[in-house]
Chain A
């Protein structure tokens, strides 16, 4: 079994509360389905990039910088780690996730 990172990319701004509530409920159902299938490893949503802090080591100290690391119109909003036999199986879960999060993009990337 390989492991895959399903990253969720979203634009700046907060969605309508009722939209968010529906998406979170659908997401919960999908996570349960992934668990039942033995595919689910870990999942989590992130606070917005404005809450991020970046650390970078120089020769003699570690600099602390107000984040995020990359300023961008779209950012990583959350992720799910799954295990799957191959990319087709991973893409099938990714497809389901993208359908729940429509119109957000989901990136599927293998772990080493």
Chain B
């Protein structure tokens, strides 16, 4: 990565959000910011990095916007008004820039947009991923993604989706939507796309810095860090999946663990638990344990009980049963698992297979692993199941 690439990734979202604020149109804001980066590529290698790269980019993009609007203003009343606003709002020269990203992320994650569109817009506008990169994340051709993004930006403009942080009354529900988008980006990267998980963590850090008083924001960042800390141990050098009990814990990223655990402790002190915070706490218990046998499983079960109160879903009940198996044995856990209506979920069958194996019911276990294999969504998981069936 060149310096400009690095600045691009770090500052694109901020520059676009400031420009959207002043020009009122996402498409125009993006074009002007891209022009500014082109200018940076041309000038920085010769002139050196400006003292405030973000400030330089925003000032350059703003001047570009003024040029463009001047050209259009004679024909179009809307452009003339935008120009008046922009000129009236003349910035301080390359000084510190106000952070407008929070408004933009609430716009990108507006419930009037389809979930997939929210994820794509967030990656494109705040993550600074190119359209080609977003298309790859969704496994669709680039023109399809380009069209989807244009349609979404047109809806934002034409339907009047506001560019602001929601009012107090709407904030909890809208923030849940934003966190869901960030977490979806993270889980999408869990197995094979580390760059998506890294992007989600970066967005999580931005949110945590902008909303330090929202415990679920802190909880989500902690959850992502603790989960990501295990990536180095999650696969063998040949790319085979390694489950938590079999992972080489010395390969976990201890800097991430320390940061995640510090955030979990902050959440505990604040004592306003929510789904992300409790999941982070569960992960923190695993991170504390030198081995699977030394894990404080009763603590894990207690935390799952708490999670069942704030997020009572069959998948949470399944994960709770896994912990119950370590405390009360596989027979009790199996009874819990078999009461769940999760036939379409591959991990339901994987967990059943594991518990049946431990109970010596090998034929039924094989049957369960075969069902899991038929439903598994990734090649890494299918490989693991084939080895178990082998």
- A interface, CB within 8 angstroms of B: 2, 84-88, 90-91, 108-110, 112
- B interface, CB within 8 angstroms of A: 110, 112, 158-162, 166, 170
- Give the residues in chain B near A88, CB-CB below 8 Å: 161-162, 166, 170
Is B112 in contact with A86, judged by CB distance below 8 angstroms?
no
Cα distance, A74 to B112, chains bound together (Å): 22
Residue of A nearest to B166 (CB): A88
Residue of B nearest to A1 (CB): B160
Task: Tell me the total A-B contact number using a CB cutoff of 8 A.
Answer: 25
Q: How many whole Å from A52's CB to the nearest CB in chain B? A: 28
- Give the residues in chain A near B159, CB-CB below 8 Å: 87, 108-110
* Known contacts A110-B158, A110-B160; 5 further A-B pairs (Cβ under 8 A): A2-B160, A86-B160, A88-B170, A90-B160, A109-B159
Main secondary structure of the interface of B (DSSP, over half): loop
Q: How many whole Å from B167's CB to the nearest CB in chain A? A: 8
Q: How many whole Å from B128's CB to the nearest CB in chain A? A: 26
- Give the residues in chain A near B160, CB-CB below 8 Å: 2, 84-87, 90, 110
Is A91 in contact with B112, judged by CB distance below 8 angstroms?
yes
19 interchain pairs (CB within 8 A)?
Answer: A2-B160, A84-B160, A85-B160, A85-B162, A86-B160, A86-B161, A87-B110, A87-B161, A88-B161, A88-B166, A88-B170, A90-B160, A91-B112, A108-B159, A109-B159, A110-B158, A110-B159, A110-B160, A112-B158
Q: How many whole Å from B21's CB to the nearest CB in chain A? A: 15
Cα distance, A88 to B112, chains bound together (Å): 9
Q: How many whole Å from B117's CB to the nearest CB in chain A? A: 15
Which of A84, A85, A87, A109 has most B Cβ within 10 Å? A87
Residue of B nearest to A84 (CB): B160
- Give the residues in chain B near A90, CB-CB below 8 Å: 160
- Give the residues in chain A near B158, CB-CB below 8 Å: 110, 112
- CB < 8 Å neighbour of B162 from A86, A108, A109: A86
Cα distance, A4 to B231, chains bound together (Å): 49
Cα distance, A109 to B159, chains bound together (Å): 7
Cα distance, A109 to B112, chains bound together (Å): 11
Q: How many whole Å from B275's CB to the nearest CB in chain A? A: 25
Residue of A nearest to B169 (CB): A92
Q: How many whole Å from A83's CB to the nearest CB in chain B? A: 11
Cα distance, A88 to B170, chains bound together (Å): 10
Q: How many whole Å from A105's CB to the nearest CB in chain B? A: 15
- Give the residues in chain B near A112, CB-CB below 8 Å: 158
Which of B159, B161, B170 has most A Cβ within 10 Å? B159
Cα distance, A28 to B274, chains bound together (Å): 41
Q: How many whole Å from A102's CB to the nearest CB in chain B? A: 19
Q: How many whole Å from A22's CB to the nearest CB in chain B? A: 27
- Give the residues in chain B near A108, CB-CB below 8 Å: 159
Cα distance, A98 to B159, chains bound together (Å): 19
Cα distance, A5 to B51, chains bound together (Å): 50
- Give the residues in chain A near B112, CB-CB below 8 Å: 87, 91
Cα distance, A21 to B188, chains bound together (Å): 50
- Give the residues in chain B near A87, CB-CB below 8 Å: 110, 112, 159-162
Cα distance, A112 to B166, chains bound together (Å): 25
Which 6 pairs between the two chains have the least Cβ-Cβ distance?
Answer: A86-B162, A86-B160, A87-B160, A110-B159, A87-B161, A2-B160
Q: How many whole Å from A97's CB to the nearest CB in chain B? A: 16
- Give the residues in chain A near B161, CB-CB below 8 Å: 86-88
Which of B160, B162, B166 has most A Cβ within 10 Å? B160
Q: How many whole Å from A106's CB to the nearest CB in chain B? A: 13
